[in-house]
Amino acid sequence: MQLPQIRLQQTYAQIGLRITQPVQEIHQAPANLSIKQIPAELSIEKKAARLEIDQIEAWNQLGFKNLNVLADEWAEDGKQACLEAIGQIAEEGDQMAAIQNKSDAFAAIALQRSTPPPTNFNITFIPSYGSVKIQFTPTELYMDWKRGGAEIEATPSQSIHEYTPGKTEVYLRQMQQLEIDFVGTNINDKG
């Protein structure tokens, strides 16, 4: 005997999604910069070195004297010689005037004049040490430094932002379905 059967065939519903992606665009223009450079300043003041050499004393000792120096020396020597002569004459006059001493003043004076005292001599270096005078003033350097700098002005630019939102659409992709089928509905009683 064959029993009747119910066959069920089912198809499930399916949904579909249509997705549109969002779009985002950002445009950033560069900032506007204004830069002004201020140069540094350097000023230098230089005072030159100075060398002074005074050789007048050395030349005088070597005998190469200036006419003014020679004239002054001759005047001083003449004055000194004159004073010494006056002193000697006065001394001799005093000797001759001193009759009370009962000495031969004329013979003593003649003897003094005929035998001069010995001359002093010594070894000297010509020109002497230190007769050349040297004076040196070194270079002087003055520096004045002023720093420069930079002036910067920045103006930022606005960013451009464009945004398109995304969307999602839901749709029925497949309908649900249920099929019912009866199989074996004929019942055979014969046997």
The C-alpha R_g of the chain, in whole angstroms, comes to 69
pTM beyond cutoff 0.75: no
Residue 186 predicted with pLDDT over 80: no
Residues 11-55 pLDDT 10s: 999 999 999 999 999 998 888 889 999 899 999 999 999 999 998
Residue 188 predicted with pLDDT over 60: no
pLDDT-wise least confident of 8-22, 62-76, 149-163:
62-76
